[in-house]
Chains A and B, each alone.
Chain A
Amino acid sequence: MKRTRLGFNLAIQTKLIFVFIFTSIIVFGVNVFVYLNLNQMINKIDEIYGSNVSLNELAETLSDVQISMTDYLNTKSSDAIEQYYRSEQNYNNLINSLNVTTTNSDMRLMEKSIKNMSDTYLRITNETVQSKRGRNIEKYKNSYEEASELFSYINTYIYSLNNEQFRYNSSNYEILLSSLKYSEVVSLSILIAVALCNIMIIILMTRSITNPLKELAKIANEVASGRLDVELLKIKSGDEVGVVAKAFNKMILSVREYIEQIRVRMEMESAMKEKELTMETHLKDAQLKYLQAQINPHFLFNTLNAGAQLAMMEDADRTYVYIQNMADFFRYNVKKNNGSVTIEEEIELVDNYIYILNVRFSGEIHFEKNIDSSLTSIKMPSMILQPIVENSVNYGIRNIEREGLITLSVYQDNHNICISIKDNGIGIPAKRIREIMEKEVKESESSNDSNGVGLENVIARLQMYFESDDIFVIQSEGENKGTEVIIRIPKAKDGEYHV
């Protein structure tokens, strides 16, 4: 593409000046040519009757010779002879320019005849003048007659030739005049052709200027409408447009580069954020695992089993039931330590727990169940209901004077399955509820005096399990008006519950 044309690196002004000068020179040149030719034609028309003029002069000089000779013969004056010689000389000069060759052109042949006759005539007039000088009267009279006769012949010839030439010149004049008109048409068409040609040249030349501009404008428009992946401009010229195009190309390249840099930076940032989130999740997971591992269920379970057997052998039935419940409580931990369980299994665990507590607190806790048994096969995370019940016991009804009551209900509400754990304890202030829900409760604070699974853990696991934030609700109508915890298990996306 390394085309280097003449004047490609010139400035636009120079280019334009060049174009105008070039075309002007063409027009000027053609005009001069046409003008010169027309001028030549007009000159020719002027000259056309020139031959008639010179013939008239010839005739006049001839008659001068005749008159002066006659005058001399009449008067013999020296003026007359002088006049005669002068006009004879003139006439001689004039006839010397006449044609002397034989041709087939009548006019030239007449010239020849005039020339020859004039020679004879001059010879005779000279003889006449000589005879007059010599006073040879008879001879000069004869010669004069002869000369006069010849004079009339020559005059006739000149007159006839003049006529012929006039006729010929007139026809020439007609031809010239018509061809002059014709030439006007030709010259006009030449000028039109040149003008058209010039327009073409101007278009051609200015196109080399405007085309890059147009391209530049087009691409600039595209860039303005947001397309940065346009083709770079080809820089063909070194003029101002070329400079602008070069700068534009550079600008597009820089913009592309910057956009690329920003894109890379943003990608890096989002990757980092993702990593951070994954790490947090992993941490949570680890915490969960850790919390669940706090209890060594196998040991307790085995020990309690042994205790139950011992109680049975000693016929201590109540102790046996108590220890059996304990054992069931811990077996649950062993069995359902990870993964999900049914609501029913969770309720069994709560039963076990309440039984244990009632033994421990000598039946202070009344426990009521209000369960829609068709819903108990729904799956949910393990170790959820027991910690809530434990909370209700520990914070709700432990320190009240009246009889403590915990109600567990499972029912369907709209599209949710609700598990409600309600106590008639001291209640929780709204501020505290907000703190719990917003996870501002410190781990150590909540972990106190429990079997290890705090509310926060419960909430987090529920949220993760059901991928829903508002699954866990704590309600309390005020001090000593009890607390209700509701777990709303949402319908799964496919319209089913976790079964």
Chain B
Amino acid sequence: MAKDKRKHIGGKVSKKDKALTLLLLSVSIIMVLVTALSLIYFRSQVTSMNITQDVDYDEYDRHYAFISQDLDDAFWNTVYEGAKEEGNKSEVYVERLGKNLAVTYTKQELMEIAIDSCVDGIILEGDESEETLELVDKATQQGIPVVTVLRDCLSSGRKSYIGVSNYNLGGEYGKQIMKLIDKDTQKILILMNMNAQDSSQNIIFGAIQETLEKEGADMKQITIETAAVNNDSAFSAEESIRDIFLDTKNLPDIMICLNELNTTSVYQAAVDYNKVGSMDIIGYYCSETTLKAIDRDVIQASISVDTNQMGKYCVDALDEYITTGHVSEYLSVDISLITHENVADYIIKEDEDEEN
């Protein structure tokens, strides 16, 4: 019996001992695990820096250069985004040429760079200048296909033109003007680019006139005037528009803007000179400012081009030419009208785009 008792005591002691040993063992194992995990984490931390060292990139089959006069314009940005998006689908990288350069080059210089960089295709905001014409031809000679967008370079060797039908655009402007015309309307002012050498503005002007006549406006009472806005040098457009507003006696009843920059400037000037309500404005494109202005009823309507579609068509045209050797000369892009009624949809869309 005494032996049993002693055994019992011994068992108790060793049980406690075992528990302590187990505890210590488990703590050590946890520590080892923690250390190992930390080391692995540490290692991955170090190696992951390798990845940041080398830029993460994808390779593409073709390289297109996208050249526009203005690098910061929201309109061109969305065109470019559309092109880039479409390019991603077909292994094409579209580069916004000049964007990352320390020096601001002209469109022509960028064309030179694109040609010398041996890109696979050029998307160009065209114009009818001699220099551009030559450069397009030079590119064509070196086997680089060029498509023009929004503005054509008609007599050059460009493969295709992607743009709005100016006639349709003018028609749409006309319709909007008709809606705004009342018995007091006397003067309609169309802001035009002073240095534009192509005929697009003329076509728009003509189409507006034609539409107004067709719709039965009283053309004896109403005069349609054009104002040339100098957008050749920096800030000049804004100054020209301010000049118009300063001439208070000759202020128009309806003002038509044919590009985004002018729309924004006119809107700002209307607010600054307290002309909201006394002057109707029809804008161009759906930049954030314009949408806000439509929402506040400062701008009554804006005519927008489907810029995404425009970019998409550019890449499609180049792809088609490179793969088949042929492409249609003219691709038309849809026009849409933004008014106070449907502006909410665009604002939501903008927000979504920003979030994306």
User: CB distance A160 to B101 under 8 Å?
Assistant: yes
**Residue-wise interface mask of A (152-188) relative to B, using a CB-CB cutoff of 8 A (1 in contact, 0 not):** 0100110111011000100010011001001100110
Do A231 and B24 touch across chains, with their CB atoms under 8 A apart?
no
**Distance of A201 Cα from B38 Cα, bound (Å):** 19
Count A-B pairs with CB separation below 8 Å.
134
Instruction: Answer whether residue A116 sits at the interface, using C-beta atoms and an 8 A cutoff.
Output: yes
Cα separation A116 to B144 with both chains bound (whole Å): 14
Known: A109-B63, A231-B7. A160 touches B28 (CB 8 A): no
**Are A41 and B46 in touch, CB under 8 angstroms?**
yes
Complex CA–CA separation, A172 to B105 (angstroms): 29
Alpha-carbon gap, A271 to B317, bound state (A): 131
Q: Give the Cβ gap from B244 to chain A, nearest Cβ, in Å.
A: 38
Q: Which of A39-62 contact B (CB under 8 A)?
A: 40-41, 44, 47-48
Q: Does A15 contact B (CB under 8 A)?
A: no
Which residues from 19 to 43 on chain B have a C-beta closer than 8 Å to any C-beta of chain A?
Answer: 21, 24-25, 27-28, 31-32, 34-35, 38-39, 41-43
Contact of B52 among A34, A40, A175 (CB under 8 A): A175
Q: How large is the interface on B (under 10, 10 to 19, 20 to 34, 35 or more residues)?
A: 35 or more
Complex contacts, B6 vs chain A, CB 8 Å = 229-231
| B46–A172 touching, CB < 8 Å | no
A212 to chain B, nearest CB (A): 11
Tell me the complex Cα distance, A176–B53, Å: 10
Contact of A30 among B35, B100, B116 (CB under 8 A): B35
**Interchain CB contact (< 8 A) of B116 among A102, A104, A117, A231:** A117
Chain A 188-210 near chain B by CB (<8 Å), digits 1 or 0: 01100110110011011001000
A30 touches B39 (CB 8 A): yes
Q: Chain B residues with Cβ under 8 A from A179's Cβ?
A: 45, 49
Q: Is the CB of B116 within 8 A of A201?
A: no
Which of chain B's residues have a CB closer than 8 A to the CB of A110? 100
State whether A116 and B118 are in contact (beta carbons under 8 Å apart), knowing that A102-B62, A175-B49, A197-B35 are contacts in the complex. yes
Give the complex CA separation of A113 and B99 in angstroms: 13
CB distance from A171 to the nearest CB of B (A): 9
Q: Kindly state the separation between the CA atoms of A186 and B39 in the bound complex, as whole angstroms.
A: 9
Query: Is B59 an interface residue, CB under 8 A from the partner?
Result: yes
Give the shortest distance, in Å, between A173 (CB) and chain B (any CB).
11
**Which residues of chain B (255-280) have a CB below 8 Å from chain A?**
none
Cα of A203 to Cα of B103 in the assembled complex, Å: 70
A258 at the interface (CB under 8 A from B): no
Contact A102 B102 (CB under 8 A): no
Known: A190-B38, A197-B35, A204-B28. A103 touches B59 (CB 8 A): yes
Say yes or no: is A105 at the interface (Cβ < 8 Å to chain B).
yes
Cβ A113 vs Cβ B113 within 8 A = yes
**Judging by beta carbons under 8 Å apart, are B31 and A102 in contact?**
no
Do residues A149 and B112 form an inter-chain contact, with CB atoms below 8 A?
yes
| Interface of A, helix, strand, loop or mixed by DSSP | helix
- CB pair A204 B21 closer than 8 Å: yes
Interface size class of A (residues with CB under 8 A): 35 or more
Q: Are B57 and A103 in contact (CB under 8 A)?
A: yes
What distance in Å separates the Cβ of A387 from its nearest Cβ neighbour in chain B?
A: 60
Residue contact B35 to A108, C-beta cutoff 8 Å: no
**In the complex, are the beta carbons of A203 and B17 less than 8 A apart?**
no
Within the complex, the shortest CB–CB distance from A311 to chain B, in Å, comes to 82
The reply to whether the CB of B10 lies closer than 8 angstroms to some CB of chain A is: yes
Asked whether, in the complex, the Cβ of A160 is within 8 Å of the Cβ of B102, the reply is yes
Q: Which residues of B contact A211 (CB under 8 A)?
A: 17
Q: Which residues of B contact A321 (CB under 8 A)?
A: none
Binary per-residue interface labels of chain B (177-195) against chain A in the complex, 1 for a CB within 8 Å, 0 otherwise? 0000000000000000000
CB distance from A200 to the nearest CB of B (A): 4
Give the distance to chain B from A131, nearest Cβ to Cβ, in Å.
19
Contacts A40-B46, A102-B61 given: A200-B28 contact, CB under 8 Å? yes
List the A residue with the shortest CB-CB distance to B48: A179
Report the bound CA distance from A44 to B48 in whole Å.
Answer: 12
Select from chain B the residue with minimum beta-carbon distance to A50.
B53
- What residues on A are CB-neighbors of B31 within 8 Å? 193-194, 196-197, 200
B234 at interface, CB cutoff 8 A:
no
Q: Counting CB contacts under 8 A, is A246 at the interface?
A: no
Given contacts A110-B100, A190-B42, A230-B6, contact A203 B58 (CB under 8 A): no
Asked if A107 CB lies within 8 Å of chain B CBs, one says yes
A200 to B21, CA, bound (A): 10
Interface centre among A101, A179, A193, A229 (most CB of B within 10 A): A193
Q: Kindly state the separation between the CA atoms of A328 and B50 in the bound complex, as whole angstroms.
A: 141
Contact B49 A163 (CB under 8 A): no
B60 and A103 within 8 A (CB): yes
B84 closest partner in A (C-beta): A104
Whole-angstrom distance between the alpha carbons of A213 and B39 in the complex?
A: 38
Per-position contact with A for B1-24: 1 when CB-CB < 8 Å, else 0? 010001101100000010001001
Chain A residues with Cβ below 8 Å from B284 are none
- Contact present for B41 and A200 (CB under 8 Å): no
Would B57 and A105 count as touching, CB distance under 8 A?
A: yes
Q: Which of A1-47 contact B (CB under 8 A)?
A: 30, 33-34, 37, 40-41, 44, 47
In the assembled complex, the Cα of A176 lies from the Cα of B49 at a distance in Å of: 7
Contact A41:B49 (CB < 8 A) given known A197-B31, A231-B6: yes
- Chain A residues within an 8 Å CB radius of B350: none
Are A112 and B63 interface neighbours, CB within 8 A? Answer: yes
> In this assembly, does A378 line the interface, its C-beta being within 8 Å of a C-beta of chain B?
no
Q: Which residues of B contact A109 (CB under 8 A)?
A: 63, 93, 95
Interface of chain A residues 45 through 101 with chain B (CB within 8 A): 47-48, 101
The answer, yes or no, to whether B324 is at the interface (CB within 8 Å) is no
Task: Choose from B21, B109, B117 the contact partner of A116 (Cβ within 8 Å).
Answer: B117
Q: CA of A189 to CA of B34 in the docked complex: distance in angstroms?
A: 10
Given contacts A41-B46, A109-B93, A117-B116, contact A201 B60 (CB under 8 A): no
Tell me the bound Cα distance from A30 to B37 in angstroms.
Answer: 12
B100 touches A204 (CB 8 A): no
Question: In the bound complex, what is the Cα–Cα distance between A110 and B55 (angstroms)?
Answer: 13
State the Cβ distance, A317 to closest chain B Cβ, in Å: 85
Given known contacts A109-B95, A149-B112, A201 and B28 CB-to-CB distance under 8 angstroms: yes
- Whether the Cβ atoms of B63 and A102 lie closer than 8 Å is yes
- Known contacts A102-B61, A172-B53; 4 additional CB pairs below 8 A are A102-B93, A109-B95, A153-B113, A200-B28
* Selected A-B contacts with CB under 8 Å, 21 pairs: A30-B35, A102-B59, A105-B56, A109-B93, A117-B113, A119-B118, A153-B109, A153-B116, A156-B101, A160-B100, A160-B101, A175-B52, A186-B38, A190-B39, A190-B42, A193-B31, A194-B31, A204-B24, A207-B21, A211-B17, A229-B2
